[in-house]
Amino acid sequence: MLPCNYACNTASHFSRRAFLGSTAALGLGGFANPASAAELKKSQKRVMVIFLSGGVSQLETWDPKPNTDTGGPFKAIQTSVTGTRISELLPHTAKQAHRLAIVRSLNSISDDHGVGEKIMLTGRKMEPGINYPHIGAVSAKLLGSNESALPGHIQILPKGGSGFNSSDATFLGPKFASVSLGDGKPPADIFRPKDLAADTDAEREAFRQKLNDRFAKSRKSAATEAYTESYTQAERVVKQAEVFDVEKENPKLADRYGRHDFGRHLLLARRLLEAGVTYVKVSHSNYDTHHENFDFHIEQLGEFDRPFAALLDDLADRGMLESTLVVVMSEMGRTPRINDRYGRDHWSKAWSVCMAGAGIKGGVVVGKTNATGTAVTDREVYSGHLFHTYLRAVGLDSTKNFYPNERPVPVADPKTAAIEEALA
């Protein structure tokens, strides 16, 4: 990866350490649609988000505008769906269009990196007095199994440290918070040292648990609960260590994904989903192309395209795609106007995302922008519409409520609804 010295360098653009503190988790409360409850039990649903960090250009991906002042130098190519064209920078993805639902009419409100990311991952505009849980925490809460040997909410970062967070679960509680894997590696120092015998380690753990239980009886708090859950998640990761070893995969399959970081991270994500993880988010950076937008998108999308197509094929070959929702999103798009540095700036008013798998209807395009991509002209949607769609796609009733402190909080924005055209 090239260093990200072309980005806007805002603090929120880079990885942020989450802080501890949240309330206890809540019960499922009938979120599964009655018609799909049996299917959920038979085939556990999963969610995977591929997050193109920095703000990928919709004009260089899902909504090209060739031969216009805003379109840039790239052509639009035919896909596996007659009449649907995407950027020539995605030739392998173009062959997967029959599996994709492309939404070209998204207005995500904010042009700020941090705010935009939160809006896209929570499906809500930021409001005073409440923080909404991320889709990963909601997925882990409503789709997860208590028998799972791994945490339900994992995010794979391009670099940085690994660790256990709780702020993205908010009122759902630390059990559903994310475990971050920097460079796809488990948190450091969680594996038993080779010179420590298993019996000795077990005795030490029993003593630690006894002290912890005694402490909790008199001083239990949200912070201690978060710490305890983090430790429990670490133990679960330790017991499933081999899942993280992508070298165990068929070398030919690893070649299809690509022998670079992003390919390896996508392959790891598939292994985690197959091992029972409910939600995995894979980040690919950096698309914050305020200058030399076209050169950087050639590089970044060249790294994204083949592994993404390989992932969809791999999931389909394993019979997992029909139960796994795959979403490609960002925190915003890029401006149709090309600036004087051959770059595109932040743009949230009219851009695109795509979905595949689970209950998504493949081969469809929802919404439309004008000839230059500056405005939505048909079927404008917001992040709330997407959030409802994600939940519906995996068989959940998106109109239900959570009840933190006995106060009803809609699981998805009640002012929006699912994008029916994108659902099978």
270: domain CATH number?
3.40.720.10
Mean per-residue pLDDT, 289-313: 98
**Higher model confidence: residue 230 or residue 358?**
358
Mean per-residue pLDDT, 271-285: 96
Establish if 209 belongs to a structural domain: no
pLDDT value of position 196: 80
Cα–Cα distance measured from residue 30 to residue 348, given in angstroms and rounded to the nearest whole number: 35
Establish if 138 belongs to a structural domain: yes
Count of domains for the chain: 1
Q: What is the pLDDT of residues 81-138, one digit of tens each?
A: 999 999 999 999 999 999 999 999 999 999 999 999 999 999 999 999 999 999 999 9
Which domain does 170 fall in, by range?
A: 43-188+250-422
Establish if 203 belongs to a structural domain: no
Mean per-residue pLDDT, 144-173: 86
Give the closest residue to 70 by CA, choosing from 390, 337, 398.
Answer: 337
Establish if 88 belongs to a structural domain: yes
pLDDT value of position 353: 98
Mean per-residue pLDDT, 274-284: 96
CA dihedral angle for residue 84, residue 88, residue 92, residue 93, rounded to 10 degrees: -50
Establish if 231 belongs to a structural domain: no
Establish if 50 belongs to a structural domain: yes
Contacts 24+ apart (CB under 8 A), 379-382: 379/105, 379/421, 380/105, 380/107, 381/103, 381/105, 381/106, 381/107, 381/416, 381/419, 382/106, 382/107, 382/108, 382/109, 382/413, 382/416
Mean per-residue pLDDT, 39-62: 88
Report helix, strand or coil for 149.
coil
Helices 383-393 and 135-143 meet at what angle, rounded to 10? 20
Establish if 417 belongs to a structural domain: yes
Establish if 152 belongs to a structural domain: yes
**Higher model confidence: residue 313 or residue 244?**
313
DSSP string, 150-208: S-SEEEEESSS--EE--TTTGGG-GGGS-EEEETTPPPTT-SPPTTS-HHHHHHHHHHH
